[in-house]
Structure 1
Amino acid sequence: MKKLNIYSLIIALLAVIVISCNPLQDDIDQIEQNLTIVKDVEYTLTDDDYETLDEICGCTGFGNFGSEEDVKANVPTILAEQFPALGLGSSAVVTYDFFRGFNDDVDVYLDVVDDLRYELGESDYAVGSAEAGDAGFFNNTVTFEDNVTAILNAGVTTPTDGQIVAVTYEKSDLAYSDINFTSAYSEDYTSITDLSASSFQLFDLEGTQDWHKYVSSYPYEAARMSGFSSGNQPNTDWMITPAVDLTGFDNAELRIQHVLNFLGDGVFGTDIAIRVSTDYDEVDPATATWEDLTFDVEPAGDSWDPVDSKASLAA
């Protein structure tokens, strides 16, 4: 009987131990839950992250993703590695590089027959504000979304039904008030009555026509050269500005408003061009090295309408 009683006692103890484990596990679970960190984070993928992911998925060999599917499938791996303590309820805003060329979702729209690619110029940004036009970008206060309708209504003058427009534009987080615009040289021709008496150098190398001051009824004031006089007349003429010191200007630009009409079969940049030189001796333009400037917007050559263009002088 004693043996039976001892055996019964052991069973009873075992029963007590088993039953006592349940509240203990509940306490452990509660402690682990209380230790979980819930946080919102922001993270930008690094070169090391892309190398790690490429070893896993082979999808970031060029330091960027090529599909949204790869992003969704593999970015969580990096987040788990960088933020192991974060638990359920946390969120992350992740910045990553994406190569649009592999994005079939976008190519569906860009490859259609009636597509149109439209890259914003200075006059387009100026629709938002004068500051946006000067800066050449939208920001958080003057946004593309607020101005896209007006821009495309003005820029796409003959739209067709169902036409898709792919728009490229510049955006920055900079406030326009934080940008220091400094002019090294400017001329609006309003103070000039006689170009030959101005600071410009004029060279009439061929033909009897020459550069002269012009006032248009549009209205604008300008320096004008035309080879038309009772018919087309061959002319070679230069108008050269005074030397401009760009010391301290890391990203200088030439901004110009120009008009070009009756270009015909001529080519802007060849038959008529705007050039820059760093070795001109202010005596003979033929002895200098001149570089043709490339402008963001070129006049078509068939209108009296002024065209706003800019070219980089950073070099």
Structure 2
Amino acid sequence: MSDSSSTLLMSRVTFGRALRRLRKEADQLTLAEVATALGCDLSLVSRIENGKRVCSKAHFAQLMDIYEVPAAQRDELAELHAATRERRPPWWSTYSDVISAQYERFLGFEAAASTVYEFQVGILPGLLQTEAYAQAVTGVGFTSLGPDQIEALVEVRGLRQRHCLLEAATPLECRYVITQAALDFQVGGEHTHKEQLDHLLEISAHASVDLRVVPYAKGEEAAQIGAFMILQFADEDVPDVAFGESVAGSLTMDDPRDLRRLHRLFRSLTDAALSPDESRDIIARTRNKDD
């Protein structure tokens, strides 16, 4: 994906991973020891390594000395460090009044990802939703917000679809598994429901979309699993990141053990699901059964 904001985020993540690797190579220094050497809080060092905070020029110079980085490698890291400090607003910056910090970080990861693996139980993936469907689920999910704020979030979802899938030079590779129940639930009323199913039939034919449905007959395979998403990046130096959904909100997961488990789980769900063609057939039957 070619977006200035995604490039910035990936630069920060890649730079942070490089610093973490240098720290561990430097006599296995702890975060606390590095923080003491820099004269700053431990949390600042942690956030820099996680790509959540920009590293100042002064701290960069200190870190290069602490880790005894050779001159040639310093030059390479200096270029990457400079890339982390660019100030170009992302497309979603105009929606800052309704986007949380967590959602903004997710948008940056999504914009930079090459592949998404997503499982949904009761609703459809955001990048596949029609405007009316998105309006209905957002209205329920954010009841404390006013109509204008809900409308803005729906606009953000629509822009995500355009930037990541519909109008992208290199579309996001979308691998989706949903339950049959997500097809049957009438979200936004009968008309919106049918419109959404028509849209699913159309967008599931997109070259970069692989949509599979777990049928009711395989309910035990999916009924007890919560929704989750894994984002994968073309740059092998950038680790996968996952997001899980619960009543408490979205949970970000980047621990390698969690990611291995989620990848295994997604493979199992894919095995339980119908093929893309069979899934399109069941979408069409669901769409036509009330006619």
TM-score > 0.5 by shorter chain? no
Q: Which structure has greater strand proportion?
A: 1
TM-score range, shorter chain: under 0.3
TM-score normalised by the chain length of structure 2: 0.27
Output the TM-score relative to the length of structure 1.
0.25
Q: Give the number of the structure with larger relative contact order, counting CA–CA contacts within 8 Å between residues 6 or more apart.
A: 2
The structure number with the bigger radius of gyration is 1
